[in-house]
Amino acid sequence: MARMLAFIVLLIPGLLAAGGIKLIRDTFFGKLIGPIPFLWLQMVIGILFLIIGLGFFAGFLLHRDRKNGKVQAKFAKKKES
């Protein structure tokens, strides 16, 4: 059950990042999508979606690897003494 929940948690930002890539691609080809009035705004929204989706995915993986002790020393959390 925990693996299924983790899959769903990672699926949503993955779809967000894929949507961002699609918006960026459509902007390069000059195709305006739906209610977005300007191509530059479409590009900005696409970049934001991509950054948010990949950032969440990367943060999730870093958190999981830190918990399992599989990161390099420079990425490990420093313990306060």
Phi-psi sector, 6: left (phi>0), alpha (psi -120 to 50), beta: alpha
CA 3 to mean position of chain CA atoms: 19
Question: What confidence score (pLDDT) does residue 79 get?
Answer: 74
Residue 10 has pLDDT above 70, yes or no: yes
Question: What confidence score (pLDDT) does residue 81 get?
Answer: 60
Which amino acid would we find at residue 71? V
Question: What confidence score (pLDDT) does residue 38 get?
Answer: 96
What are the C-alpha distances in Å from 48 to residues 1, 23, 27, 34, 54? 31, 10, 14, 17, 10
The larger pLDDT score, comparing residue 21 to residue 76, is at 21
Instruction: State pLDDT tens for residues 18-75.
Output: 999 999 999 999 999 989 999 999 999 999 999 999 999 999 989 988 988 888 888 8
- The Cα–Cα gap between 32 and 55 comes to 26
